[in-house]
Structure 1
Amino acid sequence: MPTEAPDATEATALLARVPYGRLAATLRALPFVAPARHVVLPGALLLRMHAGLGYHRACSGTVVAYGADNLTRASAEQAAGSFWSVQCIGTATIVRPPGEERALFGPAPPSADGERFEPVYLRLVPELTTVHRFGPTSDNSGERHSQHVASTII
């Protein structure tokens, strides 16, 4: 049973804690998951991927899922046994962000899969955001404690 829905600021705050996530979509009816760097903007996520992979073409104009978490990152949250995962579902669009938005990503990696890294950007406007938390709970009910929020703001 889901707990009360989080507000979009919780998902925003969690996503801002990690720089990378995974984009999930389909290509010719086959699912794929691709790594992406993200920044949180008002009302959207801006994703940076390597153009050489070609995944951005399959995603543009389609509904995709993007997820990020702290499940493998050493942090004070994990030391306290607090893990989280955020998933956003919405329509992605290829964009050419202005310089100030591109600068938010910091330097690009020099290469991806042995090729020179060529950045391409997708804007994802979340329509549904899900927050999952794992760790100690104050009750022993065995109830599922995921949180869902329908959101057009991130």
Structure 2
Amino acid sequence: MSSEEAARAIDLLGRVRYGRVATSLHALPFVAPARHVVTGGRVLLRLHAGFGYHQACLGSVVAYGADNLNSGAEHLWSVQFTGTAEPCEPTAGELALFGPPPRAADGEPFEPMYMRIAPQFVTVHSLDYSTERPPRHAA
């Protein structure tokens, strides 16, 4: 991965708060939503421990993706990082970047679990609608 592409991906990822982490669960592909922050060139994720999804991620190679595809912007982008997910204890500064966690997840008290991904492979894709409006799905 070029350092220029990695820097662009980090910049774009910093513009949104949520994405999706993908791994395999019982030999099947699995995707879960996660809150992220970017710090020190790594992606730090916060998931709800009560779902147990982190158990499939930790120590495994995962993909993490985020985008602005629903933003209505003229310049759309999608970023994906692939790397090994490791458990971590965020610093006070990193916790402040996350902001307060949700009160509940599916009606249960939210229990944060944190993991860090050191990107080994990065992809950035973009779509430019600056000369025409993107199609609307509903009238």
TM more than 0.5: yes
Residues of 1 paired with 2:51 and 2:87: CA distance? 14
Structure 1 runs (4+) greater than 4 angstroms displaced: none
| Structure 1 unmatched runs, 5+ | 139-154
Deviation at 1:49, TM superposition (A): 0.4
- Aligned-residue CA RMSD (Å): 1.9
CA contact (8 A) 2:5 2:122 kept: no
SS of residue paired to 1:58 = helix
Quickly say closer, same or farther: Cα 1:32–1:82, change in 2 above 3 A.
same
Residues of 1 paired with 2:76 and 2:41: CA distance? 25
Q: After alignment, is 114-123 or 93-102 more displaced? A: 93-102
Quickly say closer, same or farther: Cα 1:5–1:122, change in 2 above 3 A.
closer
SS of residue paired to 2:11 = helix
Q: Is 1:118 aligned with 2:111?
A: yes
Deviation at 1:121, TM superposition (A): 0.2
Deviation at 1:41, TM superposition (A): 0.8
Residues of 1 paired with 2:4 and 2:127: CA distance? 15
**TM-score, normalised on structure 2?**
0.87
Q: After alignment, is 125-134 or 90-99 more displaced? A: 90-99
SS of residue paired to 2:98 = coil
**TM-score, normalised on structure 1?**
0.79
Deviation at 1:7, TM superposition (A): 2.7
Quickly say closer, same or farther: Cα 1:137–1:100, change in 2 above 3 A.
closer
Residue 60 of structure 1: aligned partner: 58
| Structure 2 unmatched runs, 5+ | 132-139
Quickly say closer, same or farther: Cα 1:137–1:5, change in 2 above 3 A.
farther
Render the CA deviation track for 1:97-138: whole Å, top value 9, x for unaligned. 222212210011111111111000010010000000012489
Task: Tell me which amino acid in the other structure corresponds to 2:6.
Answer: A
| Correspondent of 2:122 among 112, 121, 129 | 129
Residue 40 of structure 2: aligned partner: 42
Q: Determine what percentage of the aligned residue pairs are the same residue.
A: 56
Residue 23 of structure 1: aligned partner: 21
| Correspondent of 1:91 among 70, 84, 90 | 84
Residues of 1 paired with 2:75 and 2:91: CA distance? 36
Q: After alignment, is 107-116 or 4-13 more displaced? A: 4-13
Residue 141 of structure 1: aligned partner: none
